[in-house]
Amino acid sequence: MVSSLFWYSLVTVSEQYQLSGSTASEIAASVEAAVAAGGLPAGAPLPSVRRLAASLEVSPTTVAAALAELRRRGVIVSRPRSGTRVAERPPLARPSAEVPAGAVDLATGNPDVSLLPQLPVLAAPQRRYAAEPVLPELAAIAVAAFRADGVPATRVCAVNGALDGIERVLGARLSPGDAVAVEDPGWPGVLDLARALGLRLVPVAVDARGMVPAALSAAVRSGVRAVVHTPRGHNPCGSALDAARAAELSAVLPDDVLVVEDDHLGPVAGTPWHTLVAGRSRWAAVRSVSKWLGPDLRLALLAGDETTLARVEGRQSLGPGWVSGLVQQLAVQLWDDPAIERAAAVYTERRDALAALVDAAPAPSGINLWIPVPDEDAAVRSLLAEGYAVAAGTPYRLRTGPAIRITTAELDVADAPRVAAAVARAVQPPRRTRAA
């Protein structure tokens, strides 16, 4: 069975799995086991509190407590008019999604491997436990790169990818129940991570220039403690801040609100980085190398205010300790590889080629297009039938309407007209006419 994460939502609960339990913890464990085993797939609806309580012969209060715990950990979500469902990306081990044989992968968001730098053979000395967590040469390169983009970095931490850095920052600065402003639509990894940390999501609308200032201002007035945003290469919309929008957003952000910037595309985003963190007392900026040096490196560099960095480093020292020195050495050697500049140009060409042919909002940066549709499942199934795997928009959105996400990173420019035609058919299928 193909996972619903990328292509379509399965909303029928497996008849082979029955929930059980007489206490809140047992019911929660039963739901969690069903999700992990695939009996309750992503997006599957759960019975109402009253129905589940009746079937298990327990009180509605017991069921409500079980669901509250699952909701707090991000296993399930509740939305107006759609009830309670399994989260699109619950924080549990589950089968990986696979692109069906013969389909063109426009869903998974991978960079084009042919555009990545070739990994060199390393002859590096073994590191010892007392060594500095970040190689001095990598720290110097990363700090200089941050500062060139206006981020006031004085030193950095090395973390295992963008999400690892964001999780560590949010965990260092926030507590369960705190409200965090997030992009809507936004990256499912951030949305699901915040849910798993017990944080309350406050959606902020996004246009081609990033978060909408009025929407962010409303989120601030509602009491958010932090905001997580993407300064460029937004996933899924391709939004990018310009200088004017960055100034507008900075003006509505009080200094006591933590600002976390996710530069997941780095130099292949196709646009400059306009930061919101300059002059702030509570901030962090994370730059992943996954899209421009290679996903398997699992490395990102994290800059931030001194308190945030100290807390992240302290917690990291109690777990993994450091990111592999071999990985860091690879990043040093590849940081300025000429392949990076070429990749940025190719990604821009591929994105623009399809964007010019489909009915989508402008995408000034990144490797994705966000296309509103009347019915996500119908559009995804239609495109898959024509040989194109795309991502359903449900995991990416909170209040935003239905859409699909198309990743253009590996799309041949010559294929753009065929993909655009398939999208048009999927989004606007022929109307059925009544027989005379």
What pTM was computed for the model?
0.83
Q: Which domains are seen in the chain, by residue range?
A: 1-98 (1.10.10.10), 104-113+339-427 (3.90.1150.10), 122-334 (3.40.640.10)
Closest by CA position to 351, among listed 403, 413, 289, 290 = 413
7 confidence band (pLDDT: 50, 70, 90):
very low
Q: Is the pLDDT assigned to residue 3 strictly greater than 60? A: no
125-183 tens-digit pLDDT: 777 777 889 999 999 999 999 999 999 999 999 999 999 999 999 999 999 999 999 99
216 confidence band (pLDDT: 50, 70, 90):
very high
pLDDT reported for residue 436: 42
Q: Is the pLDDT assigned to residue 323 strictly greater than 90? A: yes
Please state, in angstroms and rounded to a whole number, the distance separating the CA atoms of residues 2 and 97: 6
Average pLDDT score over residue span 201-212: 97
End-to-end, the C-alpha distance of the chain in Å comes to 41
- Is residue 106 within 8 A of residue 408, CB to CB? The reply is yes
Backbone angles phi, psi at 186, to 5 degrees: -150, 180
Please state, in angstroms and rounded to a whole number, the distance separating the CA atoms of residues 358 and 360: 6
Please state, in angstroms and rounded to a whole number, the distance separating the CA atoms of residues 41 and 244: 43
Instruction: Show the tokens assigned to 96.
Output: 């990986």
Q: What SS3 state is found at 392?
A: strand
Q: Is the pLDDT assigned to residue 15 strictly greater than 50? A: no
- The CA R_g of the chain, rounded to the nearest whole Å, is 22
30-47 tens-digit pLDDT: 898 888 888 888 888 888
pLDDT reported for residue 286: 98
Please state, in angstroms and rounded to a whole number, the distance separating the CA atoms of residues 331 and 119: 9
Residues with Cβ within 8 Å of residue 101, at least 6 apart in sequence: none
Mean pLDDT value across the chain:
89
300 confidence band (pLDDT: 50, 70, 90):
very high
Instruction: Show the tokens assigned to 111.
Output: 């960079």
